Amino acid sequence: MTNTLDTTIRAITNGAAPGETCTDDLAKGPWEFDATPGYGPGSSMFDVIPTGTPRQGALPAAYQDATQEDLHRRIRAAKDALGDRLVILGHFYQRDEVVAHADFLGDSFQLANAALTKPDAEYIVFCGVHFMAETADILARPEQTVILPNLAAGCSMADMADEDSVEAAWEELTSVYGTEPDADGRAPVIPVTYMNSSAALKAFCGKHGGIVCTSSNAATVLEWAFERGQRVLFFPDQHLGRNTAKAMGVPLEQMPMWNPRKPLGGSSREELMDARVILWHGFCSVHKRFTVDQISAARESHPGVRVIVHPECPMPVVDAADESGSTDYIRRAVADATEPTTFAIGTEINMVNRLAAEYPQHTIFCLDPVICPCSTMYRIHPGYLAWVLEELVAGRVVNEIAVASTIQDNARLALERMLAAKPRN
Ligand code: SF4
């Protein structure tokens, strides 16, 4: 299982990877770069370190010095000792050597739901990033404890919309739109947050009549919001918002960008009055790397190639691709192809490599020749997994992610609205 990851790291070490935003830091052990106040070295070196970002303490030397074989043996032993008291969740973008120990593999929402199928598990160890563990905690039973093996595993996109900036934006928008509904009873603006956001922002949406979306159901959620509001404030990912609204027929001129550093987000009052979707100035450092040129190159080198990209990619890339869809859409597209097919995929490299290994009848490659994993997800190393599990065996909980009770209810409300939202037909 480690071959694809080893190949990736070797490529980074050998200099194949460094590009505009990707460094060779990922070739090191995560405890080496977690010792300095960097944030997401690799794909997100331009990201500002958000205030209050959880910081990981030093991993005990016994784990740093252990061999991979030893770590795997210890993880297996701890899993056996904990039995049904434990469930381990692994995200699609996670390293192979961590996924090997996961009870469930999926996207963030699938994993939060998978945890619900294990109500007797006392411990949910989420091998993903911070906002995913928060969502699992919101949906879990109160007696269950959610653990993130490395607290430095945040999401650079999620951190691009912080609670204070969104509250400030809401205040400014309210000053423009007022609070009164129109003749059809629609609110001036409905907040919609992507799943990739903090629990505090999900709670913000719950409190202000808004909702959460995933990359699978963004169109359904926008329909829900347009039934209840004249316009939408969509955060943090501008690309998912733009790609989804454009496919629904919203003109680009009615999708101004909200830059939290500028008055009125950088738009005029008239532009905001005319807006249908106000897009937060956020993006995913991994998916932003894909380009139209890469698609052209893939088509030239592999005539007949089927190009599928994630909707977190920029609009020109989504427009140029044959299809776009969530990680689960991509997985199903590959799994359902009955004839040997060549796929060029625009999403995170660990997932693409895993699909290539799983479906050898197809030719599957990543659109981006400069290999760059989700560097924040990548921080969950088997060393951290072994550490949190052995601590549990010893009766100690480390790295618990507990969403404050003051925001649990509103965050759950926004998630429940999403679950209840159904496509029109
Ligand atoms: S791939 Fe992008 S959006 Fe997903 S966890 Fe990594 S940084 Fe965040």
Q: pTM, whole model, 2 decimals?
A: 0.89
Distance from Cα 362 to the centre of ligand 1, integer Å: 26
Cα torsion through 107, 110, 114, 117, rounded to 10: 180
Mutate to test the pocket of ligand 1, among 22, 53, 93, 155 (most ligand atoms within 8 A of CB): 155
Going by CA atoms, what residue is nearest to atom 8 of ligand 1? 155
Answer for the pair 126, 98: CB distance below 8 angstroms, yes or no: no
pLDDT at 215: 92
* CA-312 nearest atom, ligand 1: 3
* Residues lining ligand 1, Cβ inside 6 A: 93, 129, 155-157, 196, 284-286, 348, 374, 376-377
* CA-43 nearest atom, ligand 1: 7
pLDDT in tens, the chain (425 residues): 344 555 655 565 555 544 444 556 666 666 666 655 444 433 344 445 556 666 778 899 999 999 999 999 999 999 999 999 999 999 998 988 999 999 999 988 888 888 889 989 999 999 999 999 999 999 999 999 999 999 888 888 888 898 999 999 999 999 999 999 999 999 999 999 999 999 999 999 999 999 999 999 999 999 999 999 999 999 999 999 999 999 999 999 999 999 998 999 999 999 999 999 999 999 988 898 899 999 999 999 999 999 999 999 999 999 999 999 999 999 999 999 999 999 999 998 889 999 999 999 999 999 987 766 787 788 899 999 999 999 999 999 999 999 999 999 999 999 999 988 877 65
Cα angle 96-97-101, degrees, rounded to a multiple of 5: 100
Answer for the pair 112, 98: CB distance below 8 angstroms, yes or no: no
* CA-374 nearest atom, ligand 1: 6
Distance from Cα 139 to the centre of ligand 1, integer Å: 21
Mutate to test the pocket of ligand 1, among 45, 135, 157, 239 (most ligand atoms within 8 A of CB): 157
Alpha-carbon distance of 286 to 312, in angstroms, equals 9
* CA-129 nearest atom, ligand 1: 5
From residue 202, alpha-carbon distances to 161, 317, 350 in Å are 11, 28, 28
Alpha-carbon distance of 121 to 61, in angstroms, equals 29
